[in-house]
Structure 1
Amino acid sequence: MTPRTSAVAESTARGVLLLTLVVLAFWSTWGRVADETAVGAGSAVVLAPPLGGLLTVSALAWRRRPELPIHDRQSDAIVGTVVLLIALMSQWLLVPRYAGAYVLLHVDVMAAWAYLLGCCIFAFGLRRTGRFWATWLVLAVASPGAMRLVMYLLGGGPWAEAAVVATVVFAGPVVVIVRGVRRGRPSARVQWAGPAVTARQAWRSVPLLLVVGVALWLAPLPGGAETRLGHGPSGPAGPGQNVPAGWTERSVQDFQWAPRMFGPSATLYRQLLRADAPRADWDQLMRPRQAVVQTLTVSDPGQLDVYPLEMTYDLTNARVGDPEPVDLGHGITGRYRTVVDDDRLLTWSLLTFTWTRSSDHVQRVSVLTVDDHEYDAEFPETVHVAGSTFGRMLSLLLRGSASVTASGPQDKDLAMLTELGTNLVEAQWQTQ
């Protein structure tokens, strides 16, 4: 076996080992991506960056240029350890912190690329790994959250998804090839460098990479909305809900931008209801209460995980309480939460449930009340991927979950929403 053939075989063995480690360390992640794709969450876009990175690696290898014989194993150890720590912190700290936006952001996928980068630095050396800068740039820039945002800005739908995937897959190789053509032929005065990291040095790093891989494998992942999906009436679903007895529909609003976020057939409908008669247990001043019923109808249940309910309201300076289960009858379980709006100095209560409607529709229904009981009370506006979402995520990163979480029990409208939610569910069955 020639020295060149031996070097190629050794590099191939290291590469196969590292890819195996990444697959096994993030086995749960790849399983979740497959499950999300099956239920229509569009998570197949997560596969575009590794495919683009693979093509970029091929382009860089084809345009191989000479390297200076400079190498520092101590630098490899320092930088590689820092990158592995970033992967661990992302998986154990950021994934739970952004549990509500797990499918949208898929921070664990970015942790997988960080783990792969750290492994490559230990196995091949910092300088040799840096030769493939364009590959790491593709993996870093084309994050799941960034790709979904671009898809939304392009109007959503399959054409936007295809355009984003094609750009991610082919942008890196094209840049590498064009850059190589402009730079011309390599200089003959610089000799090709041998293996930057010897086989002994590389394989001595394997135990550390295994330990980190096991720690990543043990990290739990958040649950999905499909685990809370109930079975609703089997009849055809309208854009909104049938109004239960004792309530009157004051106004309706149909949001035309819903297909951009939730798919071409999605609808988002908002109904303002007002009680026909006041009740002392709902308001001591005997004012008729009001509530907003918001219905999101999609064809694929996975879309409910991509953009959770919190992203359809402006929660820039709001704190959301922990969910409390509520039995609404017919096997439907709702989730009651309170939101403290520090901007408006208001507290609003939210009851949410998800269910299947007919054989090809899924609905997320939310019933909302505010502690302002006046006739002209303002309810939180329904918004789409707004700056409030970015501000909320930045606050989570810098200040922790306490900055967006309401503490202490807030059960002001629990009884009212439980009754209204139960009657709302019953009203849908009565019309079947």
Structure 2
Amino acid sequence: MSVDAELPRSFTRFRLSRGPVFVLVFRWSVLVVCVVLAFFSTWVRLAREAADGAITAYVFVLPLLAVVAAQGVARRRSDELPIHDRQTDNIVGGLALLVSIAIKALWLPRYADQYELAHLDVLAALAFFFGGAILLFGLRPIGRFWSVWLLLLALSPLGYRLVAVALGGGRFAYALVMVLVAGVAGAIAVGRTWRRGWLGFGCTVASGSVVAALMLTLWPGIDIVWLQLVPTVGAAAVMGLVFYGIARRGRFEARRPRSIGSPTAKWSPSSKIVAIAAAVILALIPLPGRPDMASVAGPPGAASVPLVPPVGFSEIDMQEFDWVRAFFGTRSTLTRQTMRADDGNPAWDIRSRPRTVVVDILSTTNRASLAVYPESTLYRLSDTRTSHPLTIDLGRGVTGSLYTSVSDALLLTWTKLVFHWDRGSYTQRVTIISVDNHDTDAEFPQPTPSMASNLGTAVGTFLRGNAISIDDDPEYKDRELLTTFGSGLVREQWALSNGSTQ
């Protein structure tokens, strides 16, 4: 016997005595509470990232735009025929909940190092919301809002960053992307015809862009959250009201109140039980830990000053890369200093050839961006396996992380030593790289714009797991070289500031 058949008759009579408003509020309350509790750790994490300066606050703006779009669709929808197959609703909704659990439990751990860049748990939350809505309201009513679901699906955290970086990566670029999304929401809301839809899109984008530019002009240091919220939701809502007023122009008769009909999907306690059970399971699945980036005071002096080579090394080349401004902020810089040992050391090379290392110094005022774009995202490396890191004490409270990257395509092994320190308003990430080819023309990984840090490896990881990107049996051949070089580099920066050569 089904759960529905076992309900007490008194409870059934109580339910039937309630109006459509009560039914809608109750079902929406169940769904929203489940989404909040199932992904509570995600919402807290997003809020903390936004407080640190990341752009993830836009996730909280999207539901507002979805409401603007959905109310327009709801006002245009015709009365539904009570044609429903609750068994089909349960199957489709249940599959969506399983997809949500699979993303968070299986897919998310494979990309733990790129968690803050891709935020796959947001995709899992959308899948859960979609499946829960089908279980509670039915597939046919939810399908009528297909344009709103596409709107929510299109702007993933990774997709948002990709489009914003393509537009220049500045604060206005991130605001402009949200304005474009608001334009789509406005077009959906007022789009009774294609002409009205395009007109609504154009008006919303134009007004939102002007407001965003005006806000940046008047308050250059305004928080990115307000740039994502005010021009977008404000423009979409105002344009919706304007188009509504235009549609009612010249009509002086009172508008007949629109009645609220009861949901056509039949009452199904088992659907709610499934949604609540899935929410409990999702709430118990942990998220990847946040990157540990300790705040260490760096050497005195301006962050724009190049680093001084350690004793026994000389700088032979220096390069600057401007593309980092689109990723880390308009005030960020990336400098590569190539340094070579003055003399050979048989401990570092059996033929006593002078070893060469490169030092990449990334400086940014947006500390949160360093967690969003890990060190590996600075280089486009395919078919590369990375070892687990070793912790290296470099003195002065600076701790480095040493690991190897094996390129199966180039048959090379790079050893990297990465550490961070703060210099005034800037945070610097210093990456020291050596290569197992000791010739003077050895090939080092070049800093290259790479949003997903190697799409080929990401796809391979999705299909085959982490084994293809992890080196379980590394050889830290240059550990002594980089430890000596890194300790000397750190020591020399303070020695220079003290006016000595200790």
Partner of 1:65: 78
**Pairing 1:261-410 to 2, within 5 Å after superposition:** 261-358=327-424, 360-385=425-450, 389-410=454-475
**For residues 172 and 315 of structure 1, do their structure 2 counterparts lie closer, same or farther at Cα, with a shift above 3 Å needed?**
same
1:151 to 164, 172, 189: 164
Maintained 8 Å contact 2:317/2:338: yes
Larger Rg, first or second structure (1 or 2):
2
Distance 2:320 2:134 in 1: 53
Residue 32 of structure 1 aligns to a residue whose secondary structure is helix
Greater RCO (CA < 8 Å, at least 6 residues apart): 1
Distance 1:238 1:224 in 2: 28
Distance 1:402 1:325 in 2: 22
Distance 1:223 1:245 in 2: 38
CA offsets 1:40-66 (integer angstroms, 9 cap, x no match): 222122234322222111111122223
Distance 2:139 2:403 in 1: 49
Deviation at 1:240, TM superposition (A): 3.6
CA offsets 1:356-390 (integer angstroms, 9 cap, x no match): 112x1111110000000011111111111268622
Identical columns (%): 40
**For residues 212 and 378 of structure 1, do their structure 2 counterparts lie closer, same or farther at Cα, with a shift above 3 Å needed?**
same
Maintained 8 Å contact 2:76/2:192: no
CA offsets 1:300-355 (integer angstroms, 9 cap, x no match): 21010121111111211111111111111122211111111011111110111112
Maintained 8 Å contact 1:41/1:305: no
Distance 2:312 2:319 in 1: 21
Bigger drift between 115-124 and 237-246 goes to 237-246
Residue 257 of structure 1 aligns to a residue whose secondary structure is helix
Deviation at 1:226, TM superposition (A): 5.0
| 2:142 is the alignment partner of 1:129 | yes
Distance 1:126 1:193 in 2: 17
CA offsets 1:22-55 (integer angstroms, 9 cap, x no match): 1111111111111111112221222343222221
Deviation at 1:229, TM superposition (A): 4.0
Q: Give the TM-score of the pair, scaled to structure 1.
A: 0.92
**For residues 247 and 397 of structure 1, do their structure 2 counterparts lie closer, same or farther at Cα, with a shift above 3 Å needed?**
same
Partner of 2:125: 112
Deviation at 1:79, TM superposition (A): 0.6
Instruction: Give aligned pairs, total.
Output: 422
Deviation at 1:5, TM superposition (A): 8.3
**Pairing 1:407-422 to 2, within 5 Å after superposition:** 407-422=472-487
Residue 177 of structure 2 aligns to a residue whose secondary structure is helix
Deviation at 1:249, TM superposition (A): 0.6
**For residues 158 and 270 of structure 1, do their structure 2 counterparts lie closer, same or farther at Cα, with a shift above 3 Å needed?**
same
Partner of 1:189: none
Q: Give the TM-score of the pair, scaled to structure 2.
A: 0.80
**For residues 239 and 52 of structure 1, do their structure 2 counterparts lie closer, same or farther at Cα, with a shift above 3 Å needed?**
farther
1:78 to 85, 91, 94: 91
Distance 2:34 2:282 in 1: 10
Q: Which amino acid counterpart does residue 361 of structure 1 have in structure 2?
A: Y
Maintained 8 Å contact 2:399/2:419: yes
Maintained 8 Å contact 1:239/1:268: no
Partner of 2:187: 174
Maintained 8 Å contact 1:134/1:176: no
Bigger drift between 79-88 and 422-431 goes to 422-431
CA offsets 1:66-96 (integer angstroms, 9 cap, x no match): 3343210111111111100110011111211
CA offsets 1:252-305 (integer angstroms, 9 cap, x no match): 110011111111111011111101111010000000001010011110210101
Maintained 8 Å contact 2:318/2:336: yes
Partner of 2:280: 214
Q: Which amino acid counterpart does residue 242 of structure 1 have in structure 2?
A: V
Residue 366 of structure 2 aligns to a residue whose secondary structure is coil
Q: Which amino acid counterpart does residue 343 of structure 1 have in structure 2?
A: A
**Pairing 1:23-42 to 2, within 5 Å after superposition:** 23-42=36-55
Maintained 8 Å contact 1:239/1:267: no
Distance 1:43 1:51 in 2: 15
Bigger drift between 40-49 and 330-339 goes to 40-49
Distance 1:11 1:122 in 2: 13
Bigger drift between 382-391 and 416-425 goes to 382-391
Q: Which amino acid counterpart does residue 54 of structure 1 have in structure 2?
A: V
| 2:266 is the alignment partner of 1:198 | yes
Maintained 8 Å contact 2:384/2:407: yes
1:424 to 478, 489, 500: 489
Maintained 8 Å contact 1:299/1:361: yes
Root-mean-square deviation (Å): 2.3
Partner of 2:102: 89
Distance 1:239 1:133 in 2: 54
**For residues 53 and 378 of structure 1, do their structure 2 counterparts lie closer, same or farther at Cα, with a shift above 3 Å needed?**
same
What runs of 5+ residues in structure 2 fail to find an aligned partner?
1-15, 198-259, 498-502
